[in-house]
Structure 1
Amino acid sequence: MGERGKRNLLSLKANQRKVVRMNILDRLNRKFGRFAIPNLMQYICVIYGIGFMIQVVAPEIYYYYMDLDPEAILHGHIWRIFTFLFYFPAGGGFSGVFWAIIGIMVYYNIGKTLEFLWGSFRYTFFIASGIILYNVVGILIYLFTGVSLQLNPTYMSFSIFLAYALSLPDTMFYIYFLFPIKAKYLAGIETALYFFFFLTSPSMGERVSILLSFANVLLFFLLQNQGNNKNIFHINRYR
């Protein structure tokens, strides 16, 4: 083998050593990427809107027939696996409607931005993993304890914002359209607030919901950062 051939062989071996190991989400994307739901956030916001109207007009419909009730699911109410998402806190009067519209618009923009950054598959995976976590944990708790916890989907919405703050920490939000605050600080305040709720809430369902919202974000970033490629999703950059 000539000198040139040896150099080519050494170069090939060096390139092979530099091959980036795909993370788990990359591998899942290759296999299941066709199942991603483009523009998923617009469907979620429609769900929020319908959920808000249900809370205003007849909230008992949600609690009797749609919420995540593991006991009911195991007795044939399979639709509750998904319909528990049809929830959006409702305030009274014009101000309640106004802030609901603003809240849904904010979450729409947050979700669309994450889908743009991550890609449709990763964002679909993030939402789907949250739904699965809520259902699996709720059912397991019921099977082992006999207690059917009603898990609050509000904290799933917070997990979307927390993931956004980890990805784009310096984005500016304006509280009541007046007071600017960066996403990372707003997420820190909300995180502290939810930990306070976790410690003081008398509802076990609320405490479990809070833990699951953080667990879903942690799961996503851990899966994203398996491999050699350290990119904008690496959580170390947002400490």
Structure 2
Amino acid sequence: MNWLDKMERKIGRFAIPNLTVYLLAGYVIGYFVILLMPRLVLWLTLEPALILRGQVWRLISWVLIPPTTNLISLVFLVLLYYSLGSVLERTWGTFRYNVYIFSGIFFTVIAVFILYAVYYFVFGVEMPLSSVGLISTNYITMSIFLAFAAIYPDMEVLLYFILPIKMKWMAIVYAVMALYYFVRGGVGERVAIAASLLNFVIFFLSGRNTRRFGPKERARKARFKQQSAPHMKYSGGAKHRCAVCGRTELDDPCLEFRFCSKCNGNYEYCQDHLFTHQHVK
């Protein structure tokens, strides 16, 4: 059991279902704020100097800033990431998906504060507001895309609802674009890109158990469950029965059952007969 499993057992009940909907709804709110009250957006940005002076709402409000102010692009973005995020949440589970999104937000905030500390303690000046700019969760949502492509690399999507393309090729294009913007972009954009990639690497690639969410592993488990289901239905609704004594978990909830790898067939034994039975050949 890795660290995510342990966290889920302790605080999994606090996970927010359909987190993608709330994130995308925030984009819509931010779009109308920029459209109707453009000056108000200056009170939403992630600015460490202003946060340290008491404007703590900026730790969260920057999430409302949409990645684009073009209405058509925003509509395509909302439709795409609603689909990807919903599938990813069903694949990972609500808690793991929550951790993935919130860790990306957390890494971005920490990275901006580290940048502020470098300006303040190394150069002796406060970080200029123009150095960060309007940081949005654009690259955090793009990390959703990367995670989806890593799990379902051969799944095809319709680019702009017209061109069919596999996720792995879109992921390669994204990686090239991210590298380009990292080299040519400003400090704020580099921070956002690095934070999103760090989130992907730490959460996804470093987790050895994430392979069990892949389509091949899930298909294998489904086949095994389907093949073993007829052999694991007994009277009274029991799912386990010892092939020697006939006891089930209904007779004693403390009994443990295991299949024997040396027996030919699906033979299950209780803890008292697992090592003492005669193997079926």
What TM-score, normalized by structure 1, do the two folds share?
A: 0.79
Alignment of 1:6-85 (within 5 A): 22-62=1-41, 64-85=42-63
Alignment of 1:110-121 (within 5 A): 110-121=84-95
3-state DSSP class of the match of 1:231?
helix
Indicate yes or no: 2:146 matched with 1:172.
Answer: no
CA contact (8 A) 2:63 2:136 kept: no
* Cα distance in structure 2, aligned partners of 1:230 and 1:168: 11
* Cα distance in structure 2, aligned partners of 1:90 and 1:122: 27
Select the structure that is richer in helix.
1
Report the equivalent of 1:189: 173
Deviation at 1:210, TM superposition (A): 0.9
* Cα distance in structure 1, aligned partners of 2:168 and 2:204: 16
Amino acid of the structure 2 residue aligned with 1:46: A
1:54–1:71 CA distance, 2 compared to 1 (3 A): same
* Cα distance in structure 2, aligned partners of 1:45 and 1:51: 10
Report the equivalent of 1:213: 196
* Cα distance in structure 1, aligned partners of 2:152 and 2:58: 33
* Cα distance in structure 1, aligned partners of 2:178 and 2:35: 25
Q: Deviations over 1:66-124 (max 9, x none)?
A: 01111111111111111111121444xxxx43332222121111111111000000001
Amino acid of the structure 1 residue aligned with 2:85: G
1:114–1:167 CA distance, 2 compared to 1 (3 A): same
CA contact (8 A) 2:67 2:136 kept: no
CA contact (8 A) 1:173 1:180 kept: yes
CA contact (8 A) 1:49 1:88 kept: yes
What TM-score, normalized by structure 2, do the two folds share?
A: 0.68
Report the equivalent of 1:13: none
Q: 1:98 aligns with which of 54, 72, 91?
A: 72
Indicate yes or no: 2:112 matched with 1:126.
Answer: no
RMSD: 2.0
Amino acid of the structure 1 residue aligned with 2:74: A
Report the equivalent of 2:137: 153
CA contact (8 A) 1:155 1:210 kept: yes
Amino acid of the structure 2 residue aligned with 1:84: W
* Cα distance in structure 2, aligned partners of 1:90 and 1:199: 21
* Cα distance in structure 2, aligned partners of 1:88 and 1:43: 13
1:163–1:221 CA distance, 2 compared to 1 (3 A): same
User: Where does the alignment leave 5 or more consecutive residues of structure 2 unmatched?
Assistant: 121-126, 216-281
Amino acid of the structure 1 residue aligned with 2:93: G
Report the equivalent of 2:208: 225
* Cα distance in structure 2, aligned partners of 1:30 and 1:107: 28
Amino acid of the structure 1 residue aligned with 2:14: F
* Cα distance in structure 1, aligned partners of 2:73 and 2:115: 35
- Which gives a bigger RCO, structure 1 or 2 (Cα 8 Å, sep 6+)? 1
Q: Deviations over 1:164-214 (max 9, x none)?
A: 11121122121232211111110110110110111112x111111111111
Deviation at 1:218, TM superposition (A): 0.7
Amino acid of the structure 1 residue aligned with 2:86: K
- Shifted more, 25-34 versus 115-124: the winner is 25-34
3-state DSSP class of the match of 1:50?
helix
4+ long deviations beyond 6 Å: none
